[in-house]
Structure 1
Amino acid sequence: MIVKHLIDSLSMSNTLVPNEHLMVGGQPSEHDFEVLAAIGITQVVNLRPPSESIPFDEAAIAEKWGMQYHVIEVTTTESCTKEKAQHLKDILDKEEPTLVHCASGNRVGALIALKEYWLEGAGAEDAFNLGLSAGLTKYTDEIKQVLQV
């Protein structure tokens, strides 16, 4: 379970906790990984492609703090495929405390909304609202179109 009182010490933007096993948001700093470990995060899912440089070796820092590290590249709503949603589902189905991040959190919310709709049996409205609770912002119109909301 994610310890919510430590979240305020993160420099990561748009930090949200949609459920007891999931934290989402923007790019964490190198220092944030120490806090994430203290919070209890055991898995990190980075949705950023290599073209979006991070000023430190995120995989190495996650490993240093004992976290499993995964990359699912999402650049646009078109790159939010069923295969990528399934990959995220497989990671989240472990029900381990997990951080899913991109640069701002928007792509996280988009992929979660589609995962819920395509793979978890959520209705379009519920999937969209789950996406909003997980950081969906500027891709709302595109996700509404996919979900036919």
Structure 2
Amino acid sequence: MTKDTKLRTEMAIQSTVERIDADNGVDLAATLNPYFRPDDNSIVSGALDDDKVAALAKSGVEVVINLQPDTELSFDEASAVKQARMQYEQLPIGGADDLKQLNILAFDSLLRQYHGKKIAMHCKSGSRVGAAMALRAGWLRGRKIETAMERGHRYGLTEKFEQEVHNRLLVPR
């Protein structure tokens, strides 16, 4: 192992330890799949279950924003989140057809409402969250397409919605 590789490994371990400490000792990366952590107050994951809700609550999450429609849910997520003493918001985005400006405005409103809070956002795979973040950055924040797409990737955007989001960003709003 080279000195540079060893240093990067040590820095990655330190970063993981710091993140776990900031999450009240909960290793969310080991619990959530997929798991994205674009910043200290934002967590993006795939679908939740009772154990994942409990881990989020223990880690200090204050708000859960669910982008899954009810037809995709396998349990009463709203009750589980509220019972764990977290705020719950649901904005159903079932697919590309729901990536409309009105829904992105509603998503932006939720993020503004809970600004400064530790938020967990999810859909089935995280890709719709990433798509919504990219469109928010491009349409509502005026970011360049490359910057908006980068933001989306940090928040979970995958190939599934990548071309659709890129095409939508090409159209001025």
1:129 corresponding residue in structure 2: 150
- Matched residue SS, 1:24: strand
- In structure 1, what is the Cα distance between the partners aligned to 2:38 and 2:90? 20
Q: Which runs of 4+ in 1 moved over 4 A?
A: none
Identity %: 29
| Alpha-carbon distance, 1:76 to partner | 1.6
Pair 1:39 & 2:59 matched: yes
Per the normalisation by structure 1, the TM-score is 0.90
Structure with higher helix content: 2
Q: Which runs of 5+ in 1 are unaligned?
A: none
Larger RCO (CA within 8 A; separation ≥ 6): 1
Q: How many residues align?
A: 145
Instruction: Note the 1:1-80 alignment, pairs <5 A.
Output: 4-5=19-20, 6-10=27-31, 12-54=32-74, 56-80=75-99
Aligned-partner Cα distance in 1 for 2:54–2:73: 21
Render the CA deviation track for 1:111-142: whole Å, top value 9, x for unaligned: 11101111122211101111011111111111
Could you list the per-position Cα deviations for residues 73-132 of structure 1 after superposition, in whole angstroms to 9, with x for gaps in the alignment? 111222112222122212222221111100111111111110111112221110111101
* Structure 1 residue aligned with 2:141: 120
**Between 75-84 and 135-144, the greater mean CA deviation after superposition:** 75-84
Structure ID, larger Rg:
2
Amino acid at match of 1:114: L
Q: Where does the alignment leave 5 or more consecutive residues of structure 2 unmatched?
A: 1-17, 21-26
